[in-house]
Amino acid sequence: MDADWHNEPTDYRQLGKLPRSQGPMEAARLGPLSITSASVDEDLLELPWHIALEEWPVQNLAALPRGISRHVVRFAHMGGSVVAVKETTEHVARHEYHMLRKLQRLNAPCVEPVAVIAGRRNAAGEELKPALVTRHLRFSMPYRAVFSQTLRRATLTRLIDAQALLLVRLHLLGFYWGDVSLSNTLFRRDAGAFAAYLVDAETGELYPELSTGQREYDLEIGRVNIAGELMDLMAGGVVEETVDPVATSERIFNSYRNLWAELTEMESFEFGQRWRVNARIRRLNELGFDVEEYSIKTAPGESLVQLQPKVVDAGHHQRRLLRLTGIDVQENQARRLLNDLDAYRADTGPQQDEQISAHNWVKHLFEPIVKAIPRELSGKLEPAEVVHQVLEHRWYISEAQHRNVPLAEAVQAYIDDVLRHRRDEAAIVLDPGSGGPGLADYDDAG
């Protein structure tokens, strides 16, 4: 249950703590705040809620790239973390807060809600807009930050495929988004691809199950919005001229429908082809989904068997890697690391217990790579992505040099030739003259 502070308006003095920037007299004039939060976090009170968000002092703000929003949005330092603060109406803020809470309980890929701040007033006693606070997703980027000088067609394809997968996962949970767009999504690198996260749920609703019409309407919204976003990028000269915004946005239809069909459609086959049950499940596993239940129907006097997946759950490779190693990463990263783990086991002892082999792989491969990264470069990429890229780099230089390059040599070559030249994705500083990333090397995923 949420710590619902707004039942009793909370004065700073009642918590026995004043914001560092405010003295007792000024805090008293500001009046109480109404805060709804899953937990009491006094660091919330350090933020200048008595000031309109667009006027917040620079010392409170974190310089991270923002997507396009109809609301005023700022990133701010809160304790040892970074949060996103959005000014909106109280009804919308509370709806989105509780919707994100529900999605998190369903293990949906979305940002974490922190609090709703209402009852805000400035020093003159004038009302300020309520605010929704969410936790910043580390190593994530809005789509506008995923470019260098020109956004390549291949990168657009990966972004839209990630968007389609996100929409499928949300629809399987019964979530109607209502505002599908690249702007309402954050992207994280995922072993040559991207993983997409919902960042704006203010128009969303949860249902026991979505109708075909609801799903199709979400798709149509996404098609129109993405086409407009790509046209905007083309006008800014950051998309290849050969890209067709409309045709590219329509890819979400094909990608979504192919995946949805694989996950949900009934399949018929001859009774003697029962091997197709396992083949269907393997295909779903390869897509990153687990089948927890399925229905098989046969009709009297007929030789046809009908297979219907009943419950599909994303994160097949993530769960296996987490179970074996305790490492929690993106799905494609997990797939790539599991491939290396399986190869390591084959080389070092195929008969060895899988859990023991996984422990040795972490000890002798994963951890040495992570620990070899200099502290000043540790914010360039998240650890799992670094390990993935080191393994890829080792393969490439081994092929080029026609020898098996030792791991330590490959790590050093990657650090010197690749990692030192990347931008820091843990904290991407904005170019103050442009309002967006001033330099970038984002467009190299894969």
Digit-coded pLDDT (tens) for 378-390: 877 888 889 989 9
- What's the pLDDT band for 127 if we cut at 50, 70, 90? very high
Of 44, 268, 67, the C-alpha closest to 181 is: 67
Whole-number average pLDDT of the chain? 79
Phi, psi of 88 (to 5 degrees): -160, -165
What's the average model confidence in pLDDT over 416-435? 58
Phi, psi of 378 (to 5 degrees): -70, -15
- What's the pLDDT band for 431 if we cut at 50, 70, 90? very low
Of 191, 187, 166, the C-alpha closest to 339 is: 191
Most confident of 159-163, 214-218, 353-357: 214-218
CA distances in angstroms from 394 to 335, 347, 430, listed in the order given: 18, 17, 33
In this prediction, residue 185 carries a pLDDT of 92
In this prediction, residue 305 carries a pLDDT of 66
What's the average model confidence in pLDDT over 140-163? 74
* Residue 383 or residue 87, greater confidence: 87
Residue 434, pLDDT above cutoff 50: no
In sign, the C-alpha dihedral spanning 141, 143, 145, 147 is: positive
Q: For the stretch 391-401, what's the b/e string if a residue is b when 16 or more beta carbons lie within 10 angstroms of its beta carbon?
A: bbbbeebeeee
Most confident of 99-108, 149-158, 331-340, 345-354: 99-108
CA dihedral 1, 176, 181, 113 (to 10 degrees): 0
DSSP annotation of 338 reads H
In this prediction, residue 289 carries a pLDDT of 73
- What's the pLDDT band for 137 if we cut at 50, 70, 90? confident
- What's the pLDDT band for 274 if we cut at 50, 70, 90? low
CA distances in angstroms from 305 to 260, 264, 272, 310, 354, listed in the order given: 21, 16, 9, 16, 36
Q: How far apart are CA 166 and CA 182, in angstroms?
A: 11
- What's the pLDDT band for 5 if we cut at 50, 70, 90? very low
Of 157, 143, 152, the C-alpha closest to 188 is: 143
Task: Return the amino acid letter for 51.
Answer: I
In this prediction, residue 102 carries a pLDDT of 95
Most confident of 74-78, 174-178, 425-429: 174-178
- pLDDT tens for residues 226-260? 999 888 888 877 777 777 888 888 888 888 998 88
Name 61's bridge partners. Answer: 76
* Residue 161 or residue 116, greater confidence: 116
Most confident of 58-67, 391-400, 417-426: 391-400
Q: How far apart are CA 16 and CA 97, in angstroms?
A: 27
Residue 132, pLDDT above cutoff 50: yes
Task: Return the amino acid letter for 44.
Answer: L
In this prediction, residue 285 carries a pLDDT of 75
In this prediction, residue 355 carries a pLDDT of 86
- What's the pLDDT band for 116 if we cut at 50, 70, 90? very high
Tokens of 377: 């470069």
Structural domains of the chain in order of their starting residue, each with its CATH number: 3-135 (no CATH), 140-261 (1.10.510.10), 267-310 (no CATH), 317-421 (no CATH)
Percentage of the residues of the chain whose pLDDT score is greater than 90: 27
- pLDDT tens for residues 288-308? 776 665 666 666 666 666 666
What's the average model confidence in pLDDT over 158-182? 91
Residue 324, pLDDT above cutoff 80: yes
Q: Are 246 and 255 in contact (CB under 8 A)?
A: no
Phi, psi of 406 (to 5 degrees): -60, 150
